[in-house]
């Protein structure tokens, strides 16, 4: 080790000039030590250690690759999270070089190897007067032993590239070849009371106010939101107490202040002294009272991290802490989902044909209001609850350190979701057709006939009644429509388009090889059990209950985040049903002058017309009639041979493109087609088992399409910008789910051709001859 580039430096042995080496947090702590403040003893693992670690393991190249797949401004937050997860997993799998390990061990022995520790980030630009970026990097409390310490250091290093930090990569100046991270290791001081203090009110810094908050036990209880703090408002200029609000923690001591007057004066003097020392108003974390008051960290108060219209702050709210995630799990599963389901059932049971104009307008308005209400709940509560799956991912990877960072997805198998129940129902119907060739032939000729428009379901129903399996099929199909197809897609009700659903069932029956996503309900249980055992062994006996809770919430999060989409789709479907009834009523009254394609936006026009009998001419504009046409853009004279995206599900597949953009595309989708869409939604996952491969514009390993594709072994590349515009129906493409590459056109090389023959769907193989 170069003495001029030390891997470890004691906090009481650094100077102001060392900030670039030990980072902002460590530098400020060292300065507080020098000024006589009580600070936990400890040392800093410098940026030289970080640099040696990533260079030895070539992690700088890996980071550059992950962040160079596509332009950062084109990455969705799911893709940013994916990149951060892969980086974190790589950091955990690599060993810390022996020279660094030995240096850390020596410093730890000097402190006392058995003492519990606090391990915190100290990036060079962290905790500056310009921006503190609090919470973007990791901290670990209660770390014990050498191996636990090394693991925590790796995780803090990896948090330089966390999803939250990557959102602020421009502000942080993140560069894979130059950025680095130092780590502060300190004795964990455990006092009976801890808290925070602010040199001004962060929400109103111009006012003459300071704030002190306190909770029982560790300060982490306050920072993580585990406990509600006592809160004092002081006059900043004098320290006079202006107001006190007790924390809502229950118990016999409720309302009794945790701090006395002398404690408040001592903290007030600390705030004043730190402001004088550093020249900025401090955000201070502390623990202990009287002569045991210990300063844990001090940073400048920042009132905002993002521009007013920046969505970065919103993204950070999608990462609820453990306590809030448990509360969300209970509220979503026990209250919101049952309410959403009950509301949809009530709407579906209402006989709208018996309502007069005024009553029907009110029914439409009720559905419109309900849809807006549930959309808000969707964004405010359902989407944040999706963090349960991401929490499971990091928990599993941190404990198991698998080679595949998405191995945890196997733990999501076997969840009885509405979509898998629907898909199983469709599979059962396809098996009925396969068992009765005459029935299959009759329906196939009807729905895929080339002469004229396809017949209605009622016409098909009448013809197949007399066949041996006809009645069973009719009952099963109508049950499918009633139970699972009362949802909307592309502003249309799938229940009103039974011929599209029937075509998919027929395609399943005539396909030589198909698996169905419904297999998730019962399949793969042995693998799931093995993964659970693997996790429990990794966390150890003392953490098994904790692991079970993470598993429970993660699975619930995945299951309900699928169900909520379909249940919300039912509310949309019921709004469309009411609007269509209104249109029919106006038509029967002879008041429709012109009628375009009806959708949700038509609702206000229909409501107004139903409430105004004197309006004799009602015009309904074509709400979405050009939606499919807009994607038939003129092909460029020069087209890229390869499109780059994210490797969402491994495998190789070649086949013709079928873009799914509007409901009519469901009926056009054939077994072996490459499914190209904006994003696979739960109301279209029944197409996935038929797909040879998948290409999506939306990126992310935890979106519906990616997880179901991995489950069924369907190669998938997502995060391909403008995929539906760049590719044309019928165009031959090769999907490489290993590398995240889509090759346009026929394979040109013998090796490429031979490899793809292994993965080709039988219906596509003759295209390559």
**Which DSSP string corresponds to 372-388?**
HHHHHHIIIIIHHHTHH
Is the pLDDT score of 648 beyond 70?
yes
- What span, in angstroms and rounded, lies between the C-alpha atoms of 262 and 259? 8
Residue-range domain boundaries for the chain: 8-187, 193-316, 322-383+403-413+525-620, 418-513, 630-750
More confident residue, 128 or 499: 499
* CATH fold of 8-187: Dna Ligase; domain 1 (3.30.1490)
Distances (CA, A) of 664 to 499, 625, 724, 727: 10, 12, 16, 18
Which long-range contacts does 85-89 make (Cβ < 8 Å, 24+ apart)?
A: 85/390, 85/393, 85/394, 85/397, 85/405, 85/701, 86/405, 87/59, 87/62, 87/63, 87/158, 87/161, 88/155, 88/158, 88/159, 88/161, 88/162, 88/394, 88/397, 88/398, 89/397, 89/401, 89/402, 89/405
Report the percentage of the chain scoring pLDDT > 70: 87
- What span, in angstroms and rounded, lies between the C-alpha atoms of 228 and 61? 44
Q: pLDDT tier at 125 (50, 70, 90 boundaries)?
A: low
- What span, in angstroms and rounded, lies between the C-alpha atoms of 357 and 362? 9
- Report the chain's C-alpha Rg in angstroms: 31
Torsion of CA 748, 749, 755, 761, to 10 degrees: 20
- What span, in angstroms and rounded, lies between the C-alpha atoms of 248 and 53? 45
More confident residue, 118 or 131: 118
Which long-range contacts does 398-401 make (Cβ < 8 Å, 24+ apart)?
A: 398/88, 398/92, 398/151, 398/155, 399/535, 399/538, 399/539, 399/547, 400/534, 400/535, 400/538, 401/89, 401/92, 401/93, 401/538
DSSP code, position 336 = I
Total residues found in the chain within this entry: 769
The tens digit of pLDDT for each residue in 179-234 reads 899 999 999 999 999 999 999 998 888 899 999 999 999 888 887 777 889 999 99
In 530-602, DSSP assigns E strands to 592-595
Is the pLDDT score of 493 beyond 70?
yes
Report the percentage of the chain scoring pLDDT > 90: 58
- What span, in angstroms and rounded, lies between the C-alpha atoms of 219 and 222? 5
- What span, in angstroms and rounded, lies between the C-alpha atoms of 183 and 49? 10
Q: Can you give the pLDDT at residue 763?
A: 39
- Report residue 32 as tokens: 């507080």
Q: Which distant-in-sequence residues (6+ apart) come within 8 Å of 640 by Cβ?
A: 726, 744
Q: pLDDT tier at 95 (50, 70, 90 boundaries)?
A: very high
Element (H, E) at 186: strand 182-187
Q: Can you give the pLDDT at residue 658?
A: 96
Q: Can you give the pLDDT at residue 227?
A: 85
On whether the CB atoms of residues 732 and 639 are closer than 8 A, the answer is no
Is the pLDDT score of 767 beyond 50?
no
- Report residue 759 as tokens: 């993965």
Is 463 exposed, middle or buried (CB count within 10 Å of its CB: 0-12, 13-18, 19+)? Answer: middle
Residue linked to tokens 């939604």: 681
Strands ordered across the beta sheet of 8-10 = 8-10, 42-45, 182-187, 117-122, 139-143
Element (H, E) at 43: strand 42-45
CATH architecture of 630-750: 3-Layer(bba) Sandwich (3.50)
Strands ordered across the beta sheet of 193-198 = 241-245, 230-235, 209-216, 193-198, 282-287, 294-300
- Strand 618-620 to 139-143 pairing: unpaired
Mean pLDDT computed over 618-641:
58
- In this structure, the number of other CB atoms found within 10 A of the CB of residue 750 comes to 8
The tens digit of pLDDT for each residue in 232-252 reads 999 999 999 999 999 988 764
More confident residue, 73 or 350: 350
Mean pLDDT computed over 532-557:
96
- What span, in angstroms and rounded, lies between the C-alpha atoms of 676 and 678? 7
Q: Can you give the pLDDT at residue 762?
A: 42
CATH of 193-316, one of 1.10.10.10, 3.30.470.20, 3.30.930.10, 3.30.460.10: 3.30.470.20
Distances (CA, A) of 381 to 170, 327, 340, 476: 29, 11, 13, 35
Q: Can you give the pLDDT at residue 637?
A: 45
Q: Can you give the pLDDT at residue 516?
A: 41
Is the pLDDT score of 596 beyond 90?
no
Q: Can you give the pLDDT at residue 452?
A: 61
Angle at which helix 47-56 crosses helix 98-111, to 10 degrees, equals 150
Q: Which of 302-311, 459-468, 693-702 has maximum average pLDDT?
A: 693-702
Is the pLDDT score of 764 beyond 50?
no
Whole-number average pLDDT of the chain: 86
Q: Can you give the pLDDT at residue 705?
A: 86
- In this structure, the number of other CB atoms found within 10 A of the CB of residue 317 comes to 11
Q: Can you give the pLDDT at residue 415?
A: 84
Is the pLDDT score of 640 beyond 90?
no
Is the pLDDT score of 4 beyond 90?
no
Is the pLDDT score of 724 beyond 80?
yes
Q: Can you give the pLDDT at residue 67?
A: 85
List residues bridging with 595 in a β-sheet.
620
Mean pLDDT computed over 494-517:
80
Is the pLDDT score of 522 beyond 70?
no
Q: Can you give the pLDDT at residue 254?
A: 64
Which candidate, 414, 681, 660, 677, places its Cα nearest to that of 561?
681
Is the pLDDT score of 66 beyond 90?
no
- What span, in angstroms and rounded, lies between the C-alpha atoms of 693 and 686? 14
On whether the CB atoms of residues 618 and 595 are closer than 8 A, the answer is no
């Amino acid at each position: 080790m170069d003495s001029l580039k030390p891997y470890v430096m004691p906090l009481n042995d650094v100077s102001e000039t060392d900030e670039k080496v030990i980072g902002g947090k460590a530098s400020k702590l060292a300065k507080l030590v020098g000024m006589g403040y009580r600070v936990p003893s400890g040392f800093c693992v410098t940026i030289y250690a970080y640099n040696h670690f990533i260079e030895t393991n070539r992690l700088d190249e890996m980071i550059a690759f992950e962040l160079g797949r596509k332009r950062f401004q084109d990455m969705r937050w799911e893709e940013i999270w994916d990149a951060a997860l892969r980086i974190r997993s790589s950091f955990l799998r690599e060993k810390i070089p022996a020279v660094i390990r030995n240096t850390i061990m020596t410093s730890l022995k000097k402190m006392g190897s058995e003492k519990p520790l606090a391990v915190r980030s100290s990036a060079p630009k962290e905790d500056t007067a310009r921006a503190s970026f609090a919470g973007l990097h990791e901290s670990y409390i209660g770390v014990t032993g050498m191996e636990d310490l090394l693991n925590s250091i790796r995780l803090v290093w990896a948090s330089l590239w966390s999803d939250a930090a990557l959102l602020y990569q421009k502000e942080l100046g993140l560069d894979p070849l130059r950025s680095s991270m130092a780590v502060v290791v300190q004795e964990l001081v455990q006092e009976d009371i801890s808290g925070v203090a602010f040199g001004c009110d962060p929400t109103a810094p111009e006012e003459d106010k300071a704030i002190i908050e306190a909770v029982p036990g560790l300060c982490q209880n306050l920072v993580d939101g585990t406990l509600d703090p006592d809160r004092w408002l002081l006059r900043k200029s004098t320290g006079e107490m202006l107001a006190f609000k007790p924390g809502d923690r229950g118990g016999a001591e409720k309302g009794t202040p945790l701090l006395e007057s002398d404690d408040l004066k001592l903290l007030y003097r600390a705030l004043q002294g730190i402001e004088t020392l550093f020249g900025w108003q401090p955000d201070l974390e502390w623990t202990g009272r009287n002569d045991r008051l210990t300063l844990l960290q001090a940073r400048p108060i920042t009132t905002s991290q993002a521009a007013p219209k920046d969505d970065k702050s919103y993204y950070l709210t999608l990462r609820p802490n453990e306590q809030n995630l448990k509360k969300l799990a209970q509220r979503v599963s026990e209250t919101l989902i049952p309410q959403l389901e009950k509301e949809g059932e009530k709407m579906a049971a209402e006989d709208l044909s018996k309502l007069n104009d005024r009553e029907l307008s009110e029914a439409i308005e009720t559905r419109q209001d309900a849809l807006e209400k549930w959309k808000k709940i969707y964004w405010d509560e359902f989407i944040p609850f999706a963090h349960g799956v991401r929490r499971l991912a990091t928990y599993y990877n941190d404990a198991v350190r698998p080679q595949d960072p998405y191995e945890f997805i196997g733990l999501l198998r076997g969840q009885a979701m509405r979509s898998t129940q629907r898909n199983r129902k469709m599979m059962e119907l396809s098996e009925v057709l396969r068992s009765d060739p005459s029935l299959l032939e009759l329906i196939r000729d009807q729905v895929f006939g080339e002469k004229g428009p396809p017949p209605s379901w009622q016409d098909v129903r009448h013809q197949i009644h007399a066949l041996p399996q006809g009645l069973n099929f009719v009952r099963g199909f109508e049950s499918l429509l009633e139970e699972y197809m009362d949802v909307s897609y592309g502003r249309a009700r799938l229940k009103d388009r039974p011929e599209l659903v029937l075509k998919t069932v027929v395609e399943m029956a005539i396909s030589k090889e198909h698996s169905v996503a419904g297999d998730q309900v019962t399949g793969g249980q042995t693998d799931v059990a093995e993964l659970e055992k693997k996790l429990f062994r990794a966390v150890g006996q003392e953490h098994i209950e904790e692991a079970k809770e993470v598993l429970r919430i993660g699975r619930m999060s995945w299951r309900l985040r699928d169900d909520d989409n379909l249940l919300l789709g039912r509310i949309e479907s019921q709004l469309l049903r009411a609007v269509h009834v209104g249109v029919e009523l106006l038509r029967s009254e002879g008041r429709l002058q012109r009628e375009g394609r009806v959708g949700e936006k038509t609702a206000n026009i229909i409501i107004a017309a139903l409430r105004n009998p004197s309006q004799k001419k009602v015009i309904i504009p074509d709400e979405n009639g050009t939606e499919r046409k807009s994607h038939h853009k003129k092909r460029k004279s020069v087209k890229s041979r390869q499109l780059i995206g994210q490797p969402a599900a491994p495998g190789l597949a070649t086949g013709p493109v079928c873009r799914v953009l509007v409901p009519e595309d469901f009926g056009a989708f054939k077994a072996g087609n490459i499914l190209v869409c904006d994003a696979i939604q739960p109301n279209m996952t029944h197409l996935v088992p038929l797909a040879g491969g998948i290409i999506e514009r939306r990126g992310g390993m935890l979106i519906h399409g990616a997880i179901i594709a991995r489950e069924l072994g369907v190669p998938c590349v997502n995060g391909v910008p403008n995929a539906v515009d760049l590719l044309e129906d019928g165009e031959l493409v090769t999907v490489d789910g290993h590398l995240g590459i889509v090759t346009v056109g026929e394979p040109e090389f013998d090796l490429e051709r031979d490899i793809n023959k292994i993965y080709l769907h039988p219906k596509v193989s003759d295209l390559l001859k």
